[in-house]
């Protein structure tokens, strides 16, 4: 039996024209790390707040460890929550911020000291123990907020965009801290973020949401390799997948700008005879420029003029117009093409996706 179960959960606010969350169904196993991801306003934080008990559930059922939680108070759900806003008490030291909740729970003083000492040690806060929040960096404040949560012995941790206020370097280190903490505690964690990189690097499974509706649930690479629709394909991956309006004539793909490309019969046959109303998608790393690929995939060979470049250090992104849209190719750092250069490139046919233009569902 799953540890947390959401059955047809809906949320509609008074006087709202439509639901904020619609028919949310999910089973979460004990000790699993789940990420809710999607653009702003998709319903991920609202769903988290319903699990926490901060928002009423309009319809549907929420179970935690086999118990119906719809009417259970937040304090009785066995949940600890870490917010985007650290919500630390400015007049209290690190030690007192972490211990405050335990004191309210009437935990014996010796037990409080034991738990606080453990949390401070595991989070690397020993030298900041007697500092107040104003004398801490953003990453240190975030660790204090985590410490306040983990001392409560909760079976479930809910995290609502806890890293969004940190700079890029701190976000990377804190991602590692949270992942390591999750493994050490063996807790069940639900993590809300709009950052697909955070979701991909931290979660066992990802729930992708759009307009209050779950689009797809799966392991990170399942979503990356096998998106169910265009939204998921475009949301997961950086840079996002390239999309083109196309039609099919035999085994020839026709792009909206008049360009054509020959694809293997093994690829075309998967369309089941559909020849129009199609969107072709391909990721930047599957657009190849090196000589070997130009030879192997020569039937798809095209040319374009580079309009912009992004040097990322470990790789480069090349921007050019093709197929009626701006295309991004993700290439080796050793590719030295510059703005204004004409390049030849090919698509890896086995890495192409097709979507139905009307429904935006993935055909393969």
Statement to judge: residues 313 and 246 lie in one domain? yes
Statement to judge: residues 257 and 230 lie in one domain? no
Residue 16 is assigned to a structural domain of this protein: yes
Domain extent for 276: 242-356
Q: Are 157 and 80 in contact (CB under 8 A)?
A: yes
pLDDT of residue 1: 59
Beta strands 33-37; 205-210: pairing state: parallel
Measured distance between the N- and C-terminal CA atoms of the chain, rounded to whole angstroms: 32
Statement to judge: residues 211 and 351 lie in one domain? no
- Reported pTM: 0.92
Statement to judge: residues 221 and 325 lie in one domain? no
Residue 134 is assigned to a structural domain of this protein: no
Residue 310 is assigned to a structural domain of this protein: yes
Is the sign of the CA dihedral 258, 260, 265, 268 positive or negative? negative
In tens digits, what is the pLDDT along the chain, a chain of 364 residues?
589 999 999 999 999 999 999 999 999 999 999 999 999 999 999 999 999 999 999 999 999 999 999 999 998 999 999 988 878 999 999 999 999 989 988 899 999 999 999 999 988 899 999 999 999 998 899 889 989 988 988 889 999 998 888 788 888 888 988 898 899 889 999 999 999 999 999 999 999 999 999 999 999 999 999 999 999 999 999 999 999 999 999 999 999 999 999 999 999 999 999 999 999 999 999 999 999 999 999 999 999 999 999 999 999 999 999 999 999 999 999 988 999 999 999 999 999 999 999 999 999 9
Q: Indicate the residue among 236, 262, 290 that finishes a domain.
A: 236
Q: Which residue in the block uniquely carries the two structure tokens 């999607």?
A: 38
Statement to judge: residues 262 and 352 lie in one domain? yes
Q: What DSSP string runs through 197-243?
A: HHHHHH-SEEEEEETTEEEEEE-HHHHHHS-SBHHHHHHSSSSPPEE
Statement to judge: residues 201 and 348 lie in one domain? no
CATH number of the domain that residue 54 is part of: 3.40.50.300
Statement to judge: residues 318 and 225 lie in one domain? no
pLDDT of residue 3: 95
- Which pair of tokens denotes residue 343? 């390049």
Q: Indicate the residue among 182, 216, 236 that finishes a domain.
A: 236
C-alpha distances (whole Å) from 54 to each of 48, 50, 51, 74, 97 are 9, 6, 8, 7, 22
Residue 305 is assigned to a structural domain of this protein: yes
- Burial pattern 283-295, b for ≥16 Cβ within 10 A else e, equals bbbbbbbeeebee
Statement to judge: residues 320 and 350 lie in one domain? yes
Q: Which residue in the block uniquely carries the two structure tokens 């806003």?
A: 85
Residue 264 is assigned to a structural domain of this protein: yes
- Provide the number of structural domains found in the chain: 2
Is residue 125 packed enough to be buried (19+ CB in 10 Å), middle (13-18) or exposed (0-12)? buried
Q: Are 133 and 90 in contact (CB under 8 A)?
A: yes
Q: Are 305 and 341 in contact (CB under 8 A)?
A: yes
Alpha helices in the chain (DSSP H): 44-52, 94-104, 109-122, 138-150, 168-185, 196-202, 220-225, 230-235, 265-268, 291-296
Tell me if residue 325 falls in helix, strand or coil: strand
- Which pair of tokens denotes residue 291? 């000589």
C-alpha distances (whole Å) from 254 to each of 29, 69, 77, 159, 286 are 46, 54, 56, 46, 19
Statement to judge: residues 209 and 258 lie in one domain? no
Statement to judge: residues 207 and 346 lie in one domain? no
C-alpha distances (whole Å) from 49 to each of 70, 76, 181 are 12, 15, 22
Distance, in Å, from the CA atom of 38 to the CA atom of 318, rounded to the nearest integer, reads 26
Residue 162 is assigned to a structural domain of this protein: no
Q: Are 326 and 241 in contact (CB under 8 A)?
A: no
Residue 315 is assigned to a structural domain of this protein: yes
pLDDT of residue 142: 87
- Which pair of tokens denotes residue 30? 């004990």
Distance, in Å, from the CA atom of 63 to the CA atom of 217, rounded to the nearest integer, reads 19
Helices (H) and strands (E) in the chain, counts: 10, 20
CATH number of the domain that residue 286 is part of: 2.40.50.140
Statement to judge: residues 5 and 57 lie in one domain? yes
pLDDT of residue 69: 97
Q: Indicate the residue among 178, 212, 236 that finishes a domain.
A: 236
Q: Are 278 and 356 in contact (CB under 8 A)?
A: yes
* φ, ψ dihedrals at 188, nearest 5°: -90, 125
Residue 296 is assigned to a structural domain of this protein: yes
Q: Are 188 and 4 in contact (CB under 8 A)?
A: yes
- Which pair of tokens denotes residue 248? 């099919």
Tell me if residue 8 falls in helix, strand or coil: strand
Q: Are 356 and 277 in contact (CB under 8 A)?
A: yes
- Which pair of tokens denotes residue 126? 């020993």
Statement to judge: residues 252 and 335 lie in one domain? yes
């Amino acid at each position: 039996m799953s540890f947390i179960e959401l059955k047809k959960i809906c949320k509609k606010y008074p006087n709202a024209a439509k639901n904020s969350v619609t028919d949310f169904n999910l089973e979460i196993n004990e000790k699993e790390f789940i990420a809710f991801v999607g653009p702003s306003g998709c319903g991920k934080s609202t769903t988290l707040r319903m699990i926490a008990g901060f928002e009423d559930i309009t319809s549907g059922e929420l179970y935690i460890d086999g118990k119906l939680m719809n009417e259970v108070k937040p304090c009785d759900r066995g949940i600890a929550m870490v917010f985007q806003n650290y919500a630390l008490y400015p007049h209290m030291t690190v030690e007192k911020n972490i211990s405050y909740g335990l004191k309210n729970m009437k935990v014996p003083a010796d037990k409080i000291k034991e738990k606080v000492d453990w949390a401070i040690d595991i989070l690397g806060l020993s030298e900041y123990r007697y500092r107040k929040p104003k004398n801490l960096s953003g990453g240190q404040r975030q660790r204090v907020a985590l410490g306040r949560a983990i001392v409560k012995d909760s079976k479930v941790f809910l995290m609502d965009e806890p890293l969004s206020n940190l700079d890029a370097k701190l976000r990377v280190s804190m991602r590692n801290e949270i992942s390591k903490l999750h493994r050490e505690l063996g807790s069940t964690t639900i993590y809300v973020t709009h950052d697909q990189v955070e979701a991909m690097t931290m979660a066992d499974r990802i729930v992708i949401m759009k307009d209050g509706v779950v689009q797809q649930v799966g392991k990170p690479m399942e979503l990356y390799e096998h998106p169910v629709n265009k939204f998921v394909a475009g949301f997961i991956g950086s840079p996002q997948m390239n999309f083109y309006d196309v039609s099919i004539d035999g085994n020839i793909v026709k792009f909206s700008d008049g360009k054509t490309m020959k694809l293997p019969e093994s690829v075309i046959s998967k369309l089941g005879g559909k020849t129009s109303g199609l969107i072709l998608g391909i990721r930047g790393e599957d657009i190849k420029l090196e000589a070997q690929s130009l030879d192997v995939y020569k039937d798809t060979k095209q040319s374009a003029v580079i309009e912009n470049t992004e040097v990322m250090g470990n790789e480069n992104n090349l921007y050019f117009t093709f197929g009626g849209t701006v295309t991004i190719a993700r290439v080796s750092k050793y590719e030295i093409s510059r703005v204004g250069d004409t390049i030849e490139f090919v698509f890896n046919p086995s890495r192409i996706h097709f979507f139905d233009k009307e429904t935006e569902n993935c055909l393969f």
